[in-house]
Copies of this chain bind each other. A is one copy, B any other.
Amino acid sequence: MFMKANGKKLYEEVAGQIKHLIETKQLNSGDMLPSEEEMSKSIGVGRSTIREALRSLELIGLVETKRGRGTFVKTADVKAFNDILLDSIKLLDVDSYHVYEIDRLLEPNAARLLAQRAKDEHIEMLESILQKMDESLKSGGSGEVESLAFHKAIFSALDNPFLDIIFDLTKNVHQKDRKAIFNVTDRARKTYEEHYKIFEAIKSRDGAKAYRYMEKHLTKVGDVYDKIFSFKYSGEIDREEE
């Protein structure tokens, strides 16, 4: 009821306390928190303060409040984390080029690593994605979704939640530009071919080759980027590449 003075707002203090309980496992996943009124009394703050604290914890996915039942400690899963992240990153004006650069740094090595440790199921997954892309292209589709899925599958197969986060992060940012790329003549078909080569390298467990083909693929994509950007700035566009 009194210890403040630090400039912190009360509800932040309360949220911090609850968070601490969870971090130190005094409250475990699935546990029910005391009711709002109870906490209000025991901590000595108003119910509205408790509620504001709970709202912030709910937002970061730490707890879940169910009407009529109570508030429960939630398993802080990567997905929830990701959602918040994607939500806020839209507001950052990250240059699309920066995102491309991350891909450029990361994906070749990711492909190599996957080539070294891919299981059969991963290979099958990639193959089925490629097949879908082929079908999509043949039936007049853009193939964009499948292309994205291919890259995502490589990351997912590595079974590293962090990679998934980074992927979603980057994907989300250059969504617009990705569309633009697929509008360039023949890019979709060539993407398919490049993907296929990467796939073959992974399937034959040839890490070095996977790395090289991924790098080549990204270089091509980068070229298209360059053209689109120069189009943006100079008003000219060159539709054919290489």
Number of copies: 2
Interface size, chain A (Cβ < 8 Å): 45
Residues from chain B with Cβ under 8 Å of A43 in the complex: none
Are A102 and B48 closer than 8 Å at their CB atoms? Answer: no
B88 touches A76 (CB 8 A): yes
Task: Choose one: B88, B104, B113; the contact of A81 (CB below 8 Å).
Answer: B88
Is the C-beta of A23 less than 8 angstroms from some C-beta in chain B?
A: yes
Q: Does A153 contact B (CB under 8 A)?
A: no
CB of A85 to closest CB in B, whole Å: 6
How close is A4's CB to chain B, nearest CB, in angstroms? 12
Decide yes or no whether A192 CB sits under 8 A from chain B.
no
Q: Contacts A55-B56, A84-B88, A102-B163 given; 9 further ones with Cβ under 8 A? A: A23-B90, A48-B48, A56-B56, A60-B87, A62-B88, A84-B84, A94-B161, A102-B160, A162-B170
- Set of chain B residues within 8 Å of A1, measured between Cβ atoms: none
Residues on B with C-beta less than 8 A from A60 are 59, 84, 87-88, 91
Shortest distance between the CB of A118 and any CB in chain B (Å): 15
In the complex, what's the smallest C-beta–C-beta distance from A13 to chain B, in angstroms? 14
Contacts A52-B52, A60-B87, A162-B98 given: A92-B76 contact, CB under 8 Å?
Answer: yes
Contacts of A58 in B (CB 8 A): 56
> Which residues of chain A (106-134) have a CB below 8 Å from chain B?
106, 108-110, 113
Q: Let me know if A105 is at the binding interface, CB within 8 A.
A: yes
